[in-house]
Amino acid sequence: MSEGEKLLTDEELEAIEEVVASGDLGEGYNIGIEADSYDLTARENQSALDTEVLEQINNRLQRHLRLSLPKELKYDALVSAEAVEVTEYGEYIQKIPSPSSLSITKISPLKGECLCVLDAQVIYSCVDNWFGGSPRPLSGEAASREFSRTEEVVAKKVRLSVYSALIEAWAPSLEVQCEFLRSEVNPLLVNLLADDEQVVVTRFKMGGGDEALGSVDIVYPFESVKLLRGSLVKAVEAKAPKSRLEQQWASRLRGALDEIPFEAVVSAGEIPISFADLANLKVGDTIPFKNIGRSELSVNGLSIFEVEIGSAGDNAAVKLMGSIASENTV
């Protein structure tokens, strides 16, 4: 195509003009197909949560609680971990009886605040053990009264034992620290999240013999656990022992990945253009852009780096200015 020659023929321009004037742009792909509504916040759609890692943490926490409670409180209770549950915060908090010991806790580096919930029955049972009695289920007024000063002291000891067990249970996956912020006995006064926000509930049942003696709940904001799932999986995999065959396979896989070509794309910008200007475009015409300055370098549609557009000798070039944080890279 020689310089000055039109980019589009008269027939092509007439076809574009007719289609635009008629408004009939064709059916295209997937037009007319009925779509089902999909609630991305629904509980059954929370497939992003890696419950396997949390279950492993819970199993370790169960063992540490089984060891720490008798040591600190002479409370030799059976401890069993229940399945990880995802629910709405409002639905969960409505089911918590009053009084309960609810400790608002910062578990660093997890995002947001967590809850450590001690069933009143656990506290009463610990007090019974502390003074040489036998733990027993309580009912009626005894189970619904406010905590005494002694019971508050014992609740603090239980909370510290849970914090210690939590740190040990998370250690193989992530180094965490537990910071006590405040406590409540009335669940309705704990405004941790909006009622429709998702939380991850991990529950540990306490028992003595054939009797159920309450429960301990650790409640995480869903977003705090979801954002860390990649880091947790990597940490677990990194610390897990690998066989010689697995190591060889991993090495070959990394080598193969190094050879896979990717296309890095930097957008130079977009400009609006009228039909008349499009019709008059010729080879050799110059299309002015505003000073772009900085743009983004993306691979497979994922923005990776912030770049500055410029030149190097006779070639266009970009300078990497910094990485772009993305949830997809966590």
Sorting pLDDT into bands at 50, 70 and 90, what band is 306? Answer: confident
Sorting pLDDT into bands at 50, 70 and 90, what band is 65? Answer: confident
Asked whether 79 and 206 are in contact (CB, 8 A), the reply is: yes
H or E stretch including 16? helix 10-22
Domain 10-21+249-329 belongs to what topology? Surface presentation of antigens (SPOA) (2.30.330)
Structure token digits, residue 75 = 């409370």
Asked whether 159 and 103 are in contact (CB, 8 A), the reply is: yes
Q: Is the pLDDT of residue 136 over 70?
A: no
Burial 317-327 (b: 16+ CB within 10 A, else e): ebeeeeeeeee
Q: Per DSSP, what are the bridge partners of residue 212? A: 207
Which comes out higher in pLDDT, residue 320 or 143? Answer: 320
Beta strands in the chain (DSSP E): 78-81, 85-88, 101-108, 114-118, 177-184, 198-208, 211-221, 264-266, 294-299, 302-312, 315-323
Asked whether 240 and 233 are in contact (CB, 8 A), the reply is: no
Whether the full predicted model's pTM is greater than 0.75, yes or no, is no
The domain spans of the chain are: 10-21+249-329, 48-239
Which comes out higher in pLDDT, residue 262 or 149? Answer: 149
Chain segment 227-270, per-residue pLDDT in tens: 565 555 555 555 555 566 667 777 777 777 777 787 888 877 77
Which CATH code, of 3.40.1550.10, 3.30.200.20, 3.10.20.810, 3.40.50.300, is assigned to 48-239? 3.40.1550.10
CA distances from 137 to 148, 188, 208 (A): 18, 24, 10
Give backbone dihedrals phi and psi of 220, rounded to 5 degrees, phi first: -110, 140
Return the pLDDT at 182.
93
User: How many Cα atoms sit within 13 Å of 37 on the Cβ side?
Assistant: 3
Rg of the chain's alpha carbons, rounded to an integer?
31
Mean pLDDT, residues 314-321 taken together: 83
Return the pLDDT at 40.
47
